[in-house]
Amino acid sequence: MTLNETKEVFDNIKLKANLVRPKEEDIDTTVTILGNKVSTPIFVAPTAFHGMANVEKELATARAAQVSNKTPLMLSSWATSTVEDVGREAPDCLKMFQVYMSNLPEVN
């Protein structure tokens, strides 16, 4: 298939909701992840080096997850905040840790 053919096929895909509810009705998004009941099946993704973008580093992200309906979050092994500090900022959130292995012996 050529690029133009692929684009044409993609452009013709129609997304259709499989469930329609009145706007006023609450939708329960609660799910269980690894035995933990959480309010949403969406995680804050593990991204590295928050400290390069914000002086509060991953701590600001953890606080946001805590106040955003206790959204689960995943901390990168390349984070610029410690696991303990992130845990203090988001005590009620499900937290996970993503490990990146390095080829540099001094990093592992």
pLDDT in tens, 39-70: 888 899 999 999 999 999 999 999 999 998 88
Q: Calculate mean pLDDT across residues 71-87.
A: 94
pLDDT at site 66: 94
Residue 7 lies in a domain: no
Let me know if residue 15 belongs to a domain: no
Q: How many CB atoms lie within 10 A of CB 72?
A: 21
Residue 1 has pLDDT above 70, yes or no: yes
Q: Is residue 11 part of a domain?
A: no
> Over the stretch 8-37, which tens digit does the pLDDT of each residue have?
888 888 766 666 666 666 778 889 999 999
Distance CA 99, CA 77 (A): 5
Q: Is the pTM of this model over 0.75?
A: no
Structural domains of the chain, count? 1
Look up the domain containing 86 and give its range.
Answer: 25-108
- The answer to whether position 34 is within a domain reads yes
Write out the DSSP string of 9-25. Answer: HHHT-----S----TTS
What is the pLDDT, as a whole number, of residue 26?
A: 74
